[in-house]
Structure 1
Amino acid sequence: MSRFFGARVPRCVRHVHVNMPWAMLSKELPVIEEERFHVELGFTGEDLDRLDWKSLDGSVALLRSWGCGLTIHGPFWELCAGSCDALIRRVTLLRWHQILDVAARVGPHHVVCHTGFDPRHHREQKKAWVSRALALLEPLVDRAERLGVRLCLENVWEEDPSLHEDILSRLDSPFLGFCLDVGHQHAFSRTPLAVWLEALGGRLLEVHLHDNDGSRDDHLPVGMGTIDFGLLFETLARQGRQPLLTVEPHTKEHLRHTLVNLDKILPPGWTGAEHG
């Protein structure tokens, strides 16, 4: 009997990562120890500027001793890889190098970053935007390869998969892949989920799971919105893929509901072993 779940522990717990802001980690260590959650450590720019490296090393050692797998989510607020402002690109590059500094200590499966592309502002300059983003990303990917860490570019406001297709095909590195956020796709893209999966399935390293009704990015528990998770897992099975799964609840109650509901829809035999 699990105190956190009030019942048996859902089988999916061993096959997913749980998003955990770095600033909240120390408070949540007891429940992580009890449930042995795999963890996605999320860092803001402020976290990186104030990071206590001894605290990081100690926390990582503790999590590893509990058998917890680790991934990292880099900062994203106000960052933009293809910005027309060189200073914004410089800050973006700085933050991404800082998160790779963390990755060098943590040894995560993946490091997830947002592109910062927003079609409301960048649609008319997309070609130039991508060129600037490629120039910024290339040395990052080279460094990730030296560290043996895979970078994952996550979709947010992108309306279709073309931007990620372009970047991933032109850099063409096994250390750069795609992170599909199904909540963002459902809320911000009018391109069907199946099209995203067909276009980027070959580059897919990770999937972020949360739910909404298609009108905004609510981060509801899985099964409490209108996302077709059946289609998601059916397509992944057809493609022969088991990407790393990360749930992104905003409350403990949402985490409970997400894992209980995910347990009902996760295909039998799913291990997430391809990248987990």
Structure 2
Amino acid sequence: MFGVSTFCLHNLPLPEALEKLAAITDRIEIMDDGPHFLETAEPLLSFDGHFSLHTPCRGTNIASVLEPIRRASVEVMEQCFRIATEVNAGLVIHPGYFAWAEERGKAEQQLRRSLADLTALSDEHSVRFFIENMGNWDYFLLKTPEELPLIGAAAFALDVGHANQMKCLDEFLKHPASHYHLHDNYGRDDSHSAVGDGTIDFSAVMKAVRNSGIVPVIEVATFEGVIRSIGQLQAL
């Protein structure tokens, strides 16, 4: 069984994307950003199945050294927690970034402040959240396993494509994860390619996934790529 992200159908209105995905899976992750940004839970309430939400990431930064921006980013996450409560969904959250190399230490402190805020929201709304590792993008936090202590006791979401970009997937697979994003690449661009269209050894990935008992989410850029990915993964 596999979940699928609406990322593959971001060019369609969310209700149309949900209809199309509901025909192939009962576990859907909403790319809660851009055309699929959720202001309420209403678009999800007419669908059965299980949801997770990938919180807005392009306009937020929970590690911002500018405190008003950090607080505003947490406020955006708070809205996501409220929506997630209505549909019993978990939340995937990016760890944030810093604009100047010299500010990394302050950004790490700000991330810890945000994680404390998010943990309080998690307790208040009875919603789990997961912090996702990042790809090879300058100034983002949590790109390698050595940075996992930054998220403390927070649950970890392993994005295998991002880890492959950073040449550290094997090391990440040694650490417990509570959520998985599956997509492929050749270790250069974050292409979100179909499984098999890259260099990732998905037999090793799926061994870790099966051992965890977690249903992974296919986060591929095209619907056709999702269908091919399901076929490739089922063959394993």
Whether TM exceeds 0.5 here: the answer is yes
Q: Which residue of structure 2 lines up, in the alignment, with residue 4 of structure 1?
A: none
- Classify 1:36/1:180 alpha carbon distance in 2 versus 1 (closer, same or farther; 3 Å): closer
Write the distance in 1 (CA, Å) between the matches of 2:68 and 2:34: 16
2:105 aligned partner, one-letter code: K
Aligned to 1:83: 64
Relative to the length of structure 2, the TM-score reads 0.85
- CA change 1:139–1:90 in 2 (3 A) is closer
Cα distance in 1 for partners of 2:199, 2:75 equals 38
CA–CA distance in structure 1, aligned partners of residues 44 and 206 of structure 2: 31
1:153 to 131, 143, 150: 131
Contact 1:207–1:245 (CA<8 Å) still a contact in 2? Answer: yes
Does 2:171 correspond to 1:195?
Answer: yes
Contact 2:191–2:221 (CA under 8 A) maintained in structure 1? no
For residues 105-159 of structure 1, the C-alpha deviation after alignment (integer angstroms, 9 at most, x for no partner) is 2211x200101236xx455443332211111221221121222211000011343
Alpha-carbon contact 1:45-1:95 (below 8 Å) kept? no
Provide closer, same or farther for how the CA distance between residues 164 and 124 of structure 1 changes in structure 2, counting only shifts above 3 A: farther
Find 1:41's aligned residue among 30, 50, 59: 30
CA apart distance, 1:167: 1.9
For residues 10-25 of structure 1, the aligned pairs below 5 Å read 15-20=1-6, 24-25=13-14
- Give the TM-score normalised by the residue count of structure 1: 0.74
| Percent pairwise identity | 23
Aligned mates of 2:81, 2:21 — CA distance in 1: 24
Change (3 A) 1:241 1:29: closer
Q: How far apart, CA to CA, are the structure 1 residues paired with 2:84 and 2:19? A: 24
**In structure 2, what is the equivalent of residue 248 of structure 1?**
219
Deviation (angstroms), 1:248: 1.0
Determine if the alignment matches structure 1 residue 180 to structure 2 residue 150: no
Aligned-partner Cα distance in 1 for 2:36–2:16 = 16
Q: What do residues 15-58 of structure 1 show as CA deviations (whole Å, max 9, x unaligned)?
A: 2111015863211344334334311012127765x72x3xx33x
Task: Select which of 212, 223, 228 maps to 2:201.
Answer: 228
Higher helix share: 1
* Bigger shift: residues 27-36 or 253-262: 27-36
Q: Find the counterpart in structure 1 of residue 79 from structure 2.
A: 98
> CA RMSD of the aligned region, Å?
2.3
Runs of 5+ in structure 1 lacking a partner? 1-14, 266-276
Q: Residues 127 and 224 (structure 1 numbering): CA distance in 2 closer, same or farther, change over 3 Å?
A: same
Q: Among 108, 114, 135, which residue is 1:130 paired with?
A: 108
Q: For residues 28 and 214 of structure 1, what CA distance do their matches in structure 2 show?
A: 29
Shift of 1:163: 2.6
**3-state DSSP of counterpart to 2:212:** coil
Distance 1:45 1:140, change over 3 A: farther
Q: How many residues align?
A: 227
Q: In the aligned structure 1, how far is the partner of 2:157 from the partner of 2:5?
A: 14
**Alpha-carbon displacement from aligned partner over 1:222-241 (angstroms, at most 9, x marks no partner):** 1110011122233455xx42
Counterpart secondary structure, 2:172: helix
Moved more, 98-107 or 23-32: 23-32
Separation in 1 of the partners of 2:230 and 2:204?
18
**Greater C-alpha Rg:** 1
Paired position in structure 2 for 1:268 = none
Look up the match of 1:141.
Answer: 119
* Change beyond 3 A, Cα 1:222–1:167: same
Report the AA paired with residue 115 of structure 1. Answer: P
**1:209 matched to 2:187:** no
